[in-house]
Structure 1
């Protein structure tokens, strides 16, 4: 894709990882409160999604291009999550 190499600041990457971990924990807590088996399956789907991303990174030997693809994918999913949360908050 003729993209230049992107340098990832370790502190920024760590902050992103912590943010994603916190959001996943909050999501798991929310799912447990609902007690719905359907939501538990969705939670498993989220875990599977991130496992696929990790597998992709391993296959691509953690190349700069692979990280850029992961960054783009993660940003798109976070935007979707924000949109869904916004819709839910408007309903309440």
Structure 2
């Protein structure tokens, strides 16, 4: 955990940017996931992860999607989109409001929703440019299975505070991987 926070901070700083008013170039000008998402997830910490070590689980984040990364911009954006969509869905469950303050949870949901709206616009523009990119495979299937494992875990643990803390740390890791993918795609396009 101690190594995770500096890594997250470095990735966020590298990927932080703003939207270009002349067009949508997600991989160069937009920070998805945003620094605010990382900050909110960090603020949501209520239980020490060290108290929850017995509850740890490997949710098997689809490493091939985020480590090697898709070869097309539209595929990379699809990975980030699915990650954000599934994260938003996870934090919209009725049990998600129990461990955190309502205003903080609302702020996270709003942030994720805004990022998804921007990403939807960007995806439409990029898909026109790269019409054949999604024929290489849909990355969303593996990500949906990953998030289903997280949901089943929460259910199995009866949505305990420790279960939510483990999931919060896992989501930080997943969002961090999405940010790394975005950064890598940005460098590949330069």
Asked if these proteins are the same fold (TM beyond 0.5), I'd say yes
Structure 2: gaps of 5 or more residues? 1-49, 53-98
* Residue 78, structure 1, aligned to residue 175, structure 2: yes
More helix per residue: 1
**How far apart are residue 10 of structure 1 and its match?**
2.0
Question: Aligned equivalents of 2:168 and 2:116: distance in 1?
Answer: 17
CA RMSD of aligned residues (A): 2.8
Aligned residue among 100, 103, 116 for 1:8:
100
**How far apart are residue 49 of structure 1 and its match?**
1.0
* Residue 56, structure 1, aligned to residue 127, structure 2: no
Structure 1: gaps of 5 or more residues? none
Q: Counterpart of 2:135?
A: 37
Question: Aligned equivalents of 2:135 and 2:116: distance in 1?
Answer: 17
- Higher RCO by CA contacts (8 Å cutoff, separation 6 or greater): 2
**What SS is found at the alignment partner of 1:8?**
coil
**What SS is found at the alignment partner of 2:51?**
coil
TM-score (norm 2): 0.38
Q: Which has the larger radius of gyration?
A: 2
Provide the aligned length of Structure 1 versus Structure 2.
Answer: 87
